[in-house]
Amino acid sequence: MGMFTQSVAVSCTTTGMPLHVEVQGRSYTVAAPPRRWYERRRWWAEEYRAERGRGAGLVDHEVWRLQVRLSRARTAPLLTIDVAHHLDSGRWRLIRVHDAGALTLRETA
């Protein structure tokens, strides 16, 4: 499994469910129902202070586990990835690749 923190582009349904992911110029289509959960983030490492009454997106971040395949190759093997959605900014990050050999990216420490 590879751990990353790389910006990615994610297209979603009107309800916020991911449909497509673009990673390093390659387009992937979500090929199975995604799973979503929330994880605590180390907000103190990224923010100087927590504003009173602000919780969603600051303390927790939304994580989606997606099974994707290359959009241009319908018979391509499935690849399982986790992406995090920063609710305040709307940005998406690739945080985990479960089939690490299938996607070549720069790992970050």
pLDDT tens sequence across 34-44: 999 988 766 66
* DSSP for residue 77: P
Domain that holds residue 54: 2-102
Contacts of 46 (CB under 8 A, 6+ apart): none
Count: domains in the chain: 1
Do the domain assignments include residue 68? yes
User: Across-strand partners of 82?
Assistant: 65, 96
Do the domain assignments include residue 108? no
Q: Phi and psi of 35, rounded to 5°?
A: -115, 140
Given a cut of 50, whether residue 109 has pLDDT beyond it is no
Given a cut of 90, whether residue 74 has pLDDT beyond it is no
* DSSP for residue 100: G
Do the domain assignments include residue 32? yes
Do the domain assignments include residue 107? no
pLDDT at 71: 93
Do the domain assignments include residue 41? yes
Q: Give the distance from CA 26 to its chain's centroid.
A: 15
Do the domain assignments include residue 109? no
CA gap 65, 106 in Å, rounded: 20
Do the domain assignments include residue 23? yes
Do the domain assignments include residue 11? yes
